[in-house]
Amino acid sequence: METFTIKDIARELNLSTSTVSRALRGSYEINPETKRLVMECAERLNYRPNPIALSLKGSSSRAIGVIVPQIANYFFSQAINGIEAIAYNRGYHVIIFQSQESYEREMANVNQAMSRKVDGLLISLSSETSDVAHLRDVIDKNVPVVLFDRVSAELNVTQVVADNFGGAFAATEHLILSGRRRIAHLTIQPWLSITQERLAGYRAALEKHGLEFDENLIRYGTFGPDEVGPMVDELMALDPIPDAFFTASDRLAVGCLKALHQRQLAIPEDVSLIGFTNLNVADLLSPSLSTVVQPAQEIGQVAAERLIDLIENKQRAKPVDTVKIPTELVVRDSTNFVEHAEPLGAARTL
C-alpha cells in the first residue's frame, strides 16, 4: 500500500510527467489512447494525487479551517458535526482550532489556518473578540470566510445565525403569558451579536406586553467557572424578586438549574426557567427544561455549504447576506403554564 506519484506512472509508460498530469485531468490535447493507458495505469497503481504538492502549487488544499471558542460544548460540537458532514460530501477536510474564548488565540488560529493554506475559513468569534481586523486581512487576501453564530456586523461576509431575536422574543412572551412579570435574563458578554439580538428580542416582548425593562434584571456572564451561583444570589436579593429566569446559553441554563436546586428554589413554583440551548437531554432534566432550540447542526451545515459555494464558485455564489435559521420554542415543565396569572407578590400555589 505504498504511495505512487505521477512520476511513477510516467516512468511506467515512458511518458513525461506533464503528459500524465494532463491526461489525468482530461486535457483535450492528449491522445485518447494515451489517456486510456494513463488512466488504467493510475487505477492499477492506486494513484492518489498528493494534496500537499497541490497546496504548494498554489491551487486548492481542499481543506477548510474551523475556529470555534470551545469544542466541548453542545452547540459547537453539533455545529462541527454538520460542518464535517457537508465538507466530507464535497471532498474537503476540516482542520479544527479552538480559540478558548481568547482573542490572542483566535488571532493565532487565523494565522495558522492561513499558513496551512486552507481554502476557506469558518469562524465563530471568541467572547473576547471585538476587533475583527485579523479577519479583514484574511478577506482582503481573497480567502472566503463565513461567520456563524457569533458573528460581527463589521464584516461584509456571509453570516449564518439562529433567529436569536425571534427565539428570545418567543421565550420571553411565553414567560409573560404564563403569568410571569419579573423576568431575569442571564446572558453572556454584551458586545457579542447574539447577546444583543437576544436582549433585543427580550425587550421587544416586554414592550409588547407593557412591562417595564429593568436593567437590574440583566446579568452578563464571563464564561468563568461557577459564576452562575453568585448571579442568582444577586438576582434573588432584588425587591421585588424575579419570578422567571431566561438564560442565553447551554452553559448558563445548566448552571442556573444547578444553582436554583442548590438554593432550594422550586421550579417552576418559585421561578420559571427557560434556556436558549442545544441540549438534547432537556426533556430528561429535573424538571424538564423549556428551551428555545437552536438548530446547531443545521447552522453548521448551511455555513459549510455557503463557504464551499464561495470557494468553488467565487463569482456567482449567492450574494453576501445573513442567513437566519429559525429557532423553536419547546415548552416543558420548567415553565409550567399557570392557568390564572396572579398579580405580582401574591402567593403562588400549584
Partner DNA sequence: ACGCACATCGGCAACGTTCCCGATAACGTT
Partner DNA sequence: AACGTTATCGGGAACGTTGCCGATGTGCGT
* Residues making contact with its own copies (CB under 8 A): 1-3, 48, 50-53, 55-56, 61, 63, 70-73, 77-78, 80-81, 84-85, 88, 93-98, 111-112, 114-117, 137, 141, 254, 257-258, 261, 279-281, 283-288, 297
Three cell numbers at 329? 420554542
Measured from the CB atom, the residue of 72 and 346 that comes closer to its own copies is: 72
Residue 185, helix vs strand vs coil: strand
Q: Among candidates 123, 302, 201, 315, which has minimal Cα distance to 112?
A: 123
Q: Is 287 in the site for DNA (CB under 7 A)?
A: no
Q: Among candidates 265, 124, 283, 289, which has minimal Cα distance to 193?
A: 124
CB 5 within 8 A of CB 12: no
Question: Cβ of residue 45: shortest distance to DNA, in angstroms?
Answer: 11
Task: Quote the distance between the C-alpha of residue 163 and its chain's center.
Answer: 12
**In this chain, which of 49, 62, 70, 338 binds DNA, going by CB under 7 A?**
49
Question: Cβ of residue 134: shortest distance to DNA, in angstroms?
Answer: 21
* Torsions phi, psi for 339 (to 5 deg): -50, -60
Q: Is 114 in the site for DNA (CB under 7 A)?
A: no
Three cell numbers at 90? 464535497
Q: Which does 192 bind (CB under 5 to 8 A by kind): DNA, its own copies, none?
A: none
**In this chain, which of 1, 26, 43, 58 binds DNA, going by CB under 7 A?**
58
Q: Is 17 in the site for DNA (CB under 7 A)?
A: yes
Measured from the CB atom, the residue of 53 and 71 that comes closer to DNA is: 53
DSSP 8-state code for residue 106: H
Measured from the CB atom, the residue of 172 and 301 that comes closer to its own copies is: 301
Axis crossing angle, helix 17-24 with helix 32-45, rounded to the nearest 10: 90
Q: Is 57 in the site for DNA (CB under 7 A)?
A: yes
**In this chain, which of 39, 45, 54, 341 binds DNA, going by CB under 7 A?**
54
Q: Is 30 in the site for DNA (CB under 7 A)?
A: yes
Measured from the CB atom, the residue of 54 and 95 that comes closer to DNA is: 54
Q: Which does 142 bind (CB under 5 to 8 A by kind): its own copies, DNA, none?
A: none
Beta strands in 21-144 (DSSP E): 63-68, 93-98, 120-123
Binding to DNA, residues 230-269 (CB under 7 A): none
Cα 122 to Cα 235: distance, rounded to the nearest angstrom: 37
- The residue type found at 127 is S
**In this chain, which of 18, 89, 280, 313 binds DNA, going by CB under 7 A?**
18
The alpha-helical segments, DSSP class H, found in 178-217 are 193-208
Q: Which does 17 bind (CB under 5 to 8 A by kind): DNA, its own copies, none?
A: DNA
* Torsions phi, psi for 87 (to 5 deg): -60, -45
Measured from the CB atom, the residue of 53 and 281 that comes closer to DNA is: 53
Q: Is 336 in the site for DNA (CB under 7 A)?
A: no
Measured from the CB atom, the residue of 36 and 261 that comes closer to DNA is: 36
- Beta bridge partners, 120, equal 64
* Torsions phi, psi for 330 (to 5 deg): -120, 115
Measured from the CB atom, the residue of 48 and 208 that comes closer to DNA is: 48
Cα 259 to Cα 242: distance, rounded to the nearest angstrom: 15
Cα 305 to Cα 311: distance, rounded to the nearest angstrom: 10
The window from 46-54, 84-92, 197-205, 246-254 that contacts DNA (CB under 7 A) reads 46-54
Cα 139 to Cα 130: distance, rounded to the nearest angstrom: 17
Q: What stretch of H or E contains 345?
A: none
**In this chain, which of 56, 153, 238, 320 binds DNA, going by CB under 7 A?**
56
Measured from the CB atom, the residue of 197 and 250 that comes closer to its own copies is: 250
Which residues are near DNA by CB under 7 A?
Answer: 3, 5-7, 14-19, 21-22, 24-25, 29-34, 47-50, 53-54, 56-59
